[in-house]
Structure 1
Amino acid sequence: MTSSRMTGSALFRHLGPRLFSAASASRAAASVEPSYTLLLSPSRPPAPLLLRLLAVRMGSTSASPVLGGDPKKEDEAKSAADVEKEVAAVPPPEHKLVSRYWGIDRYKIAKEDGTPWRWTCFMPWEAYKSDTSIDLKKHHVPTTILDKIAYWLVKTLRFPTDIFFQRRYGCRAMMLETVAAVPGMVGGMLLHLRSLRRFEHSGGWIRALMEEAENERMHLMTFMEVAQPRWYERALVLAVQGIFFNAYFLGYLISPKFAHRVVGYLEEEAIHSYTEFLKDLEDGKIQNGPAPAIAIDYWCLPPDATLKDVVIVVRADEAHHRDVNHFASDIHYQGLELKSTPAPLGYH
C-alpha cells in the first residue's frame, strides 16, 4: 500500500506540470465547440481576453493559474456575458483597400455647397449647363443618293419603333439612348485604330466622338431612373444593339460620310421624339415628376428641377450631336479627312 502511494506521488510530481501547463490550456481550448473558432479569425480579440472567455465557458478552474489568477478568488471572475461584451468591444482591424496597395487613392470630392459628391460614373468637372438656345429645326436636306438612302433608312427604322412604343416616351427614350450611344463609340474606336496604324493625329475627333458616346450613355442612366424596362424590352435592347453595332461598324468602314449622315438623321428624329415627349408633359398626359438626382448634378440643374427640364436639356444635346455628325459627313463629302478640320470638342 505504501509503495503504491509513493509510486502515485512520484507520477503526480512528474506529470503534474505537464498536465497543468499552458499547453494543456491550449488543448482544452481546441476542444471547445466549433462555434468559438470564429474568434481565431483575423479579427480575434487579444489572447488574454480570448483565454478568459474560454476559461469561463469551460468552467475550468485549472486555467486560473495559467492566466495568472488566484484560485481562491473564483467568485471575482467575470461572467461569460461580461467577457463577451469585452470581446465585442474590441475594434476590428482596419480593412486594407486594394487601391492602397497600388498607390491609388480616391480623394473626397465635395460639391460647391459642401455636400459630398455621390457619383462615380462622372466627376464634377464633367458636368455642364446645356445650351438650350440651339436651333432645333435645322435640317440637312438630302441631295445626293447616299444622303437620300440615309434619310429614308432612318425613316424606315422609325416606323416599327412608333408601333412598338406608341406614346410611352419614357421607355422610348431609354431604348433610343441604348442605340444612340453606339455610333460615337464605333467611330471613335475606328479613328483611334487608324491613328495608331498611320502614326498620325486625329484632329481631336476621337475625343469628340467618345464625348458623344459618353453623353448618350448618361442620357440612358438618367432615363433608367424614369422608366424601368421590362424583360422583353431588355431583350429587345440586346437584339437591336447587337445588330446595329455590327451594321454601323461595317458601314463606317465602307463609307464614313454615309455613317455620319445616318447618325445626323437619327438625331433629327430624336429631337422630334423629345419634342413630342415635352408636349405630353405639358398637357398632363405624363406626370411631370422631380428630376432624377443624377440629372440635376450632370446638367447643373436647380434642385427643384422637373422631368420637363431634363427632357429639354437632353433634346438640346441631341441637337448638338446632329450638328457634329452632319458636319463630319460634310467634311468627307468635300474629299477631306476628319483630321484636316479641328473637332468641336466640348460642343454640348
Structure 2
Amino acid sequence: MLRSLVRSTVSIRRASRSAGAVNTTALPWRGLSSAHKGDTTTSISDHSWRQQNHIWTEDEVQERMRTSGLKHVPQRASDVVLQQMVRLAYHSFNAATGYRHDDPPTKAIGYRLIILESIAGVPGMLGGMFRHFRSLRQLERDHGFIFTLLEEAENERMHLLVCMRFFEAGPLTRVVVQAGQGVLTPFFA
C-alpha cells in the first residue's frame, strides 16, 4: 500500500512538471473530496486557486472613468429603504468622526480611517475561521477560500498599520475600536 502511494506521488510529480494537469483517477486520495464531481482532471499546483491581479489597459481605465458618475436608481421599495439605511449610516459616521465632505479635517480623516480599517478586518477573520471549522467538520479541503478570507483580514490590518504611521490613536479611539469589534463580531458571526 505504502509503495503504491509513493509510486503514485512520484508519477504525479513527474506528470505535473510535464503536463500541468493529470487524470485524477490515478491519484491515491481520489474520492476524499466531492468538490470536483464529474471533473476528471485537475491542476496539480497547490496554488492554482490564487487570484491574479488584473492589469488594466488604458481603454478599460477610460471606460470606467467615463461611467464613474452613473448612479443606481432604486426600483422597488426595498431598494429605497436600503439606500436610505446606507445614507443614514454614512452621514451618522461622518457626524461621529467630524468628517465634512467639502473640507475634511486631517484629524477626522485619521480617526475615520483608524476606525474603518480596524473594523474592516473582522469579516475576513470570522469568515476564514468559519470556513476552517467547516472544512474540519466535513473532512474536506477548502480549495483556498480560507486563505483568501484570511488574506483579506491581513490586508485590512496592514492598511490600519499604515494609517497608524500617520495618525495617533488616542484612548477614546482605542475604546471605540474595541467596542466596534465587540459589537460587530457577534453580528457577523
Identify the TM-score tier after normalising by the shorter chain: 0.5 to 0.7
Deviation at 1:203, TM superposition (A): 2.9
Q: 2:94 aligns with which of 162, 168, 177?
A: 162
Match for residue 242 of structure 1?
A: 182
What amino acid maps onto 1:245 in structure 2? T
Match for residue 135 of structure 2?
A: 195
Change (3 A) 1:244 1:230: same
Does residue 1:215 correspond to 2:152, yes or no? no
Deviation readout 1:113-144 (Å, 9 max, x if unpaired): xxxxxxxxxxxxxxxxx879575849996889
Deviation readout 1:291-346 (Å, 9 max, x if unpaired): xxxxxxxxxxxxxxxxxxxxxxxxxxxxxxxxxxxxxxxxxxxxxxxxxxxxxxxx
Greater mean alpha carbon deviation, residues 226-235 or residues 214-223: 226-235
Secondary structure, aligned partner of 2:146 = helix
How many percent of aligned residue pairs carry the same amino acid? 33
How far apart, CA to CA, are the structure 2 residues paired with 1:151 and 1:164? 20
Deviation at 1:150, TM superposition (A): 6.3
Match for residue 302 of structure 1?
A: none
Deviation at 1:151, TM superposition (A): 5.6
Q: 1:172 aligns with which of 98, 106, 112?
A: 112
Structure 1 gap ranges (5+)? 1-129, 250-348
Aligned residues between the structures: 120
Deviation readout 1:225-257 (Å, 9 max, x if unpaired): 1110122121111111110111111xxxxxxxx
Secondary structure, aligned partner of 2:95 = helix
Change (3 A) 1:198 1:148: farther
How far apart, CA to CA, are the structure 2 residues paired with 1:187 and 1:146? 27
Change (3 A) 1:230 1:209: same
What amino acid maps onto 2:129 in structure 1? M
Match for residue 114 of structure 1?
A: none
Deviation at 1:204, TM superposition (A): 1.5
Structure 2 gap ranges (5+)? 1-52
Alignment of 1:1-348 (within 5 A): 137=68, 153-165=85-97, 166=99, 167=104, 168-249=108-189
What amino acid maps onto 2:154 in structure 1? E
Deviation at 1:170, TM superposition (A): 1.9
Change (3 A) 1:139 1:205: farther
Match for residue 46 of structure 2?
A: none
How far apart, CA to CA, are the structure 2 residues paired with 1:140 and 1:190? 35
Deviation at 1:176, TM superposition (A): 0.6
Secondary structure, aligned partner of 1:203 = coil
What amino acid maps onto 2:135 in structure 1? S
Change (3 A) 1:246 1:198: same
Please give the root-mean-square deviation of Cα atoms over the aligned residues, in Å. 3.3
Match for residue 80 of structure 1?
A: none
Deviation at 1:153, TM superposition (A): 4.5
Rg larger for: 1
How far apart, CA to CA, are the structure 2 residues paired with 1:195 and 1:240? 29
Secondary structure, aligned partner of 1:202 = coil
